[in-house]
C-alpha cells in the first residue's frame, strides 16, 4: 500500500518518500498468495478489485516491469445453502462490469478437470483472474515510483509521528526526522502500533495465517485455476515449479493474534495433513502430492475484515491506510489511487468514506450483501 500510494503521488508530481523498517515486501505482502479475484459481495470492493485486475493484466504498460501475473482463472465453490448468495454476488459483480458467470455442475469439470463435484450445485467463474508474484509486483511498483522521483528509505524505522499546530509535520526515525506535510500509515500488521505514535487507537490485530506447499504429482502439473472452496473452507492456487499453495478460509485466524516482530513463521505440525485432506477431497487426482515446507504470514485484521482508509484527525494531513485483513494485495492498485487522491484533494475514483475509522463507533461496519465466510 505504501508503494502504490507513493507511485500515484509521484505520478501527480508530489515529492514523496517511502520509509520501510525492513526490506520491501518484508511484511504481509511478501508472504501473500497474491490471488487477484473480483468475487466480492459489496459494490465498492468489487469495483476496486476489477480495477486491480485491469492493472495486473496490463502491468507492463500501466506500471512497467514484471508482476508475474498468471491469468489462470478463478473458481468459487459454495455449499448448496449459499447458492442464492453466489448468484446474487455474481449479478452484483456483472453489474459493475466484471467478467464472471455462474457455472452449472457439469461445466465445473471443464475448468477444473478431475474435480469431485457431486456435492456442488453451482460455482462462480472468472476467466481472466489469477495470481501474481508479490515480490516482483512490489519491486516493479517501487522502481516505477523511483523513476518518477520518489525516494525509498529501507531499513529505516518510523519511531514517532510529529504534529505542529494540529497538522502533521513528519516522522521520526533513528537516522533523524523526515519532514512532510502529509504522512500515510501503511504499516499493515503494525498499523495499530504506528497509529499509536500519532495518539490514535485503530483496531488492527496482527494475526498469523498459514499456508501449506505441495509438489503436485507427475501428470498433474499443467495449467490450473485458483480455487476458493467454501464447502471445505480451503483455497488452493498453483505456484511455479509444479507446486500448489493450499490454505484455509478460517475466520478463527482472527484469534491468532501475534507479535508481528516475533511469531512462528513456519506451519504448525499437522497443518499440511489438515489442508491436504480438504484439497484432495475436492481434487482426488492430487492424492500423491508431496508436502514441502510451508510458511506463515500476517493478516492485519479489523473487526469487519475491511481496512481503514481515512484522514484522522480530519484536516490533519495524517492518513491511515492499513488493516487489509487478508485480502488487500489485489486491491493495492485501487488503494494507492484512493490514498493519493485523498491527500491531494482530487475527486475520488473510489469513495473511501465507507472505510472511515469512525464506522465502528457509528455502528456502520462494512458488510457484504451475501457473505459466505470471509470473502469480503
Ligand X SMILES: Cc1cc2nc3c(=O)[nH]c(=O)nc-3n(C[C@H](O)[C@H](O)[C@H](O)COP(=O)(O)OP(=O)(O)OC[C@H]3O[C@@H](n4cnc5c(N)ncnc54)[C@H](O)[C@@H]3O)c2cc1C
Q: Using CB under 6 A as the criterion, which residues of the chain lie in contact with ligand X when the complex forms? A: 1-2, 19-22, 26-29, 31-35, 157-158, 186-190, 194, 209, 211, 297-299, 322, 324, 326-330
Q: Give min distance, CB of 132 to ligand X, in A.
A: 9
Q: Exposed, middle or buried: residue 12 (CB in 10 Å: 0-12, 13-18, 19+)?
A: middle
- Smallest distance from the beta carbon of 1 to ligand X, in angstroms? 4
Cβ pair 173, 19 in contact under 8 A: yes
Q: Which helix (H) or strand (E) holds 207?
A: strand 205-215
The Cα 319–Cα 360 span in angstroms is: 18
Residue 258, judged by CB atoms within 10 A of its CB (0-12, 13-18, 19+), counts as: middle
Beta-bridge mates of residue 213: 245, 292
The helix-helix angle for 43-57 and 332-344 (nearest 10°) equals 110
Rounded Cα gap, residues 192 and 196, in angstroms: 6
Smallest separation (angstroms) from ligand X to the CB of 210:
7
Q: Phi first, then psi: what are they for 160, rounded to 5°?
A: -165, 155
Q: Between 20 and 82, name the residue whose CB sits nearer to ligand X.
A: 20
How far apart (Å, rounded) are the C-alpha atoms in residues 44 and 368?
10
List, in sequence order, the alpha helices (H) in 13-111. Answer: 43-57, 59-62, 83-95, 105-111
CB-nearer residue toward ligand X: 104 or 350: 350
Closer CB to ligand X, 202 or 347, in the complex = 202
Q: How far is the CB of 35 from ligand X (least distance, A)?
A: 3
CB of 237 to ligand X, least distance (A): 7
Shorter beta-carbon distance to ligand X: residue 298 or 342: 298
d(CA 147, CA 366): 37
Task: For the CB of residue 128, give the shortest distance to ligand X in the complex, in Å.
Answer: 16
* 95 contacts 191 by C-beta, under 8 angstroms: no
Of the pair 107, 163, the CB lying nearest ligand X is at: 163
Residue closer to ligand X by CB (options 40, 125) is: 40
Q: Which is nearer to ligand X, 190 or 230 (CB)?
A: 190
Phi-psi region of 106 (alpha: psi -120 to 50; beta: other; left: phi over 0): alpha
From residue 326, alpha-carbon distances to 35, 183, 286, 303, 353 in Å are 11, 24, 26, 13, 21
> Least CB distance from residue 5 to ligand X, whole Å?
9
Report the nearest approach of ligand X to the CB of residue 325 (Å). 7
Nearer to ligand X among residue 109 and residue 173 (C-beta): 173
Amino acid at each position: 500500500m505504501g508503494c502504490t500510494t507513493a507511485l500515484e503521488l509521484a505520478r501527480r508530481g508530489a515529492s514523496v518518500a517511502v520509509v520501510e523498517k525492513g526490506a520491501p515486501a518484508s511484511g504481509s505482502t511478501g508472504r501473500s498468495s497474491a490471488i487477484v479475484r473480483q468475487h466480492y459481495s459489496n459494490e465498492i470492493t468489487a469495483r476496486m478489485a476489477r480495477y486491480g485486475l485491469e492493472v495486473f493484466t496490463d502491468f507492463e504498460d500501466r506500471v512497467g516491469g514484471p508482476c508475474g501475473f498468471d491469468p489462470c482463472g478463478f473458481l468459487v465453490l459454495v455449499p448448496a445453502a449459499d447458492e442464492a448468495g453466489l448468484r446474487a454476488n455474481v449479478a452484483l459483480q456483472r453489474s459493475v462490469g466484471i467478467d464472471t458467470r455462474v457455472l452449472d455442475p457439469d461445466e465445473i469439470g471443464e475448468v477444473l478437470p478431475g474435480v469431485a463435484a457431486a456435492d456442488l450445485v453451482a460455482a462462480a467463474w472468472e476467466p481472466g483472474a489469477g495470481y501474481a508474484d508479490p515480490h516482483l509486483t512490489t519491486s516493479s511498483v517501487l522502481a516505477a515510483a523511483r523513476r518518477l522521483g520518489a525516494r525509498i528509505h529501507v531499513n529505516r524505522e518510523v519511531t514517532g509521528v510529529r504534529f505542529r499546530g494540529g497538522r502533521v509535520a513528519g516522522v521520526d526515525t533513528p537516522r533523524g526526522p523526515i519532514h512532510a506535510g502529509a504522512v500515510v500509515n501503511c504499516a499493515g500488521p503494525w498499523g495499530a502500533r504506528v497509529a499509536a505514535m500519532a495518539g490514535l487507537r485503530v483496531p488492527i490485530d496482527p494475526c498469523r495465517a498459514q499456508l501449506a506447499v505441495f509438489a503436485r504429482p507427475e501428470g498433474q502439473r499443467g495449467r490450473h485455476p485458483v480455487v476458493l472452496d467454501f464447502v471445505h473452507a480451503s483455497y488452493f492456487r498453483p505456484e511455479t515449479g509444479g507446486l500448489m499453495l493450499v490454505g484455509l478460509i478460517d475466520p478463527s485466524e482472527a484469534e491468532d493474534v501475534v507479535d508481528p516482530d516475533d511469531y512462528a513463521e513456519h506451519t504448525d505440525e499437522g497443518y499440511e495433513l489438515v489442508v491436504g485432506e480438504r484439497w484432495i477431497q475436492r481434487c482426488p487426482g492430487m492424492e500423491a502430492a508431496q508436502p514441502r515446507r510451508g510458511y506463515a504470514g500476517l493478516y492485519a485484521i479489523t473487526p469487519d475484515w475491511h481496512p481503514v482508509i481515512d484522514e484522522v484527525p480530519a484536516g490533519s494531513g495524517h492518513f491511515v491506510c492499513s488493516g487489509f485483513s487478508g485480502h488487500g494485495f489485489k486491491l493495492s492498485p485501487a488503494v494507492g489511487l484512493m490514498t493519493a487522491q485523498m491527500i491531494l484533494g482530487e475527486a475520488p475514483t473510489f469513495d473511501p468514506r465507507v472505510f472511515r475509522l469512525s464506522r465502528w463507533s457509528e455502528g456502520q461496519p462494512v458488510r457484504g450483501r451475501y457473505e459466505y465466510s470471509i470473502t469480503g
